[in-house]
Amino acid sequence: MFAHNKRLMYTVRVSEPNPKLGSLMLEQFGGPQGELAAAMRYFSQAIGETDPKRKDMLFDIATEEMSHLEVIGNIIVMLNKNVKGEMAEGVQEAELLRTITEGGESHVTSLLFGGGAGLMNSGGAMWSGGYVDTIGEPTADLRSNIAAEARAKIIYERLMNVTPDAGVKDALGFLMTREIAHQKSFEKALYSIDGNFPPGKRPGNPKFESKYYNMSEGEGDARGPWNEGGAWEYVDGGGPKAAVDGGDGSASVKLSAQSEKLFAAASRRTMSNTSVDPKTGADLGSRPARS
């Protein structure tokens, strides 16, 4: 059960309308790193979570993300507030046209949503459930959540860097800071799971899990803690030259006698005859080469 509190989680004070800036803010409303994507990611994880303590955390953060969606949505609406009335009343045609076409997706926001906040990103792409990458394994989902919060923080930083409005910058700073808090919560939750790496239950094959293949030869080959020291085995020279399992590197499948017969017949029927040079439509329609 949800109950909506009519007060925003953080006060929004916009100095003056700016539809162009409002179109950039759509990135955190309906974009892949935005608040709706985060809310749906954590809400769906909470629904399927079997650990009651993690379930509570995920529901708390999912609900807070919805409050963040409300904050960023109100920023967008305030930045478009002049357009809302002008679009509805049809006044100052030339000035209105200039205002809504000055950059970004401000014309889309104005024409389709009347100055409201549409569920799309700053490039006009509509929100998609494909942004929700939950897989139902806590040790994988929590890592994804940590990365999602990090990406969202970076987007908020970039928006703050292009925001001349002090009030908008202040609200964005709050939202950015909450991404840090959520990242910390998810990381603590991840490391409270004993044996959280590798994700899942099955261990890796010890023959391959600590090998590093130097697959790109040439100037710039680098060594670091990601491929040397500890248990790392470094395979140099452009990676393995043969199948690493010791086999011949081919692909095979065991077929029944009947399937084998049919496959051989199909292969013979479709085999290329390289002893002829057939005349094609391209040959018939081509123009003589010009000197």
User: If you average pLDDT over residues 130-137, what whole number do you get?
Assistant: 96
Q: How many CA atoms lie within 13 A of 92 on its CB side?
A: 10
* Residue at 236 is within a domain: no
Model pLDDT, residue 217: 78
Rounded mean pLDDT of the chain? 89
User: What single letter denotes the amino acid at residue 264?
Assistant: A
* Residue at 271 is within a domain: no
What does the pLDDT look like over 255-264, one tens digit per residue? 999 999 999 9
Dihedral over Cα of 9, 13, 18, 20: its sign: negative
| Bigger pLDDT: 42 vs 93 | 42
Model pLDDT, residue 102: 61
* Cβ contacts of 100-105, under 8 Å, gap ≥ 24: 100/19, 102/19, 102/20, 103/20, 103/23, 104/20, 104/23, 104/24, 105/23, 105/26
What does the pLDDT look like over 103-114, one tens digit per residue? 555 556 555 566
* Residue at 76 is within a domain: yes
Q: Does residue 163 sit in helix, strand or coil?
A: coil
Lowest mean pLDDT segment, chosen from 62-76, 99-113, 161-175, 186-200: 99-113
Residue 158 belongs to domain spanning: 19-124+132-191
pLDDT tier, 122 (very low <50, low <70, confident <90, very high otherwise): confident
Model pLDDT, residue 90: 57
CATH code for the domain of 168: 1.20.1260.10
User: If you average pLDDT over residues 189-216, what whole number do you get?
Assistant: 93
* Residue at 288 is within a domain: no
User: If you average pLDDT over residues 116-140, what whole number do you get?
Assistant: 92
pTM for the predicted model, two decimal places: 0.83
pLDDT tier, 273 (very low <50, low <70, confident <90, very high otherwise): very high
Beta bridge partners of 126: 120
User: If you average pLDDT over residues 265-276, what whole number do you get?
Assistant: 95
* Residue at 206 is within a domain: no
* Residue at 91 is within a domain: yes
| Bigger pLDDT: 47 vs 291 | 47
* Residue at 111 is within a domain: yes
* Residue at 177 is within a domain: yes
pLDDT tier, 92 (very low <50, low <70, confident <90, very high otherwise): low
The number of domains in the chain is: 1
What is the distance in angstroms between the CA of the first residue and the CA of the last residue of the chain? 79
Model pLDDT, residue 2: 87
User: If you average pLDDT over residues 234-245, what whole number do you get?
Assistant: 80
